[in-house]
Structure 1
Amino acid sequence: MSFARPSRVQLLSGLLLGAGAMHFAAPKPYDKIVPHALPGSPRTWTYVSGVAEIGVGAAIAMPRTRRLGGLLAALLFIAVLPANVQMAADWTRNEKMPLWLRIGSYLRLPLQIPLITSALKVRREA
């Protein structure tokens, strides 16, 4: 039996829908990476970003809204970069954090680039 390879649209939509759902299923790790400079409760930002990810993932999944969804996904990936930087900084200072996670938190930062370019390709191809 062979399976078809998922498309860029399916991968990106699935990533966003899954990540967005995790903001509600297990919010504590997301609360911890909310940049300290943001006003208000970290949990509010966790939920807001979860709703944004679910909304953008759904927009990409729907042909009628895919073009807009691709643009919004690119903007969302840019918007969450400070949280990823915050996580890397916090994990680096945490001596209890395993070294491989501290290193991985920085290695993960450049992954935003292919996510952004993928989102823009989805927009272009819609």
Structure 2
Amino acid sequence: MPAPADRKQRLVTAFQRHIANPLNRRLPFQTLLETTGRSSGLPRTTPVGGRRVGGSFWLVSEFGHKSQYVRNIEADPRVRVRIAGRWHHGTAHLLPDDDPVARLRTLPRFNSAAVRAFGADLLTVRIDLDG
């Protein structure tokens, strides 16, 4: 029998993949993260919550290294982020030494509450935006 954290991840991921993400991708001002598929080489777009601070965009992955977009970043850290309807190129950095719970306190409240509630293995991600 799978561990409770694994069951939780499967349920949340299925809901996001089949219901929430397809809807959120259509919203014009939803923040989107575009990675390159590590196997396919195709663009993969994921709705995310986070905040731009200066020349960086910060977010917290709710399932850490098990998240597909994190696995894509590990293979190729070059990404694009759509913030307020505008695309930005950048380089993603996984920050396992950052305190993701403390980081969530600096990010938008609604998304942060969802990440805390549904997440099982939090991981901070910083995207350094190009020019």
TM above 0.5, one fold?
A: no
Q: TM-score, normalised by structure 1?
A: 0.30
**Higher normalized strand content (fraction of residues):** 2
Q: TM-score, normalised by structure 2?
A: 0.29
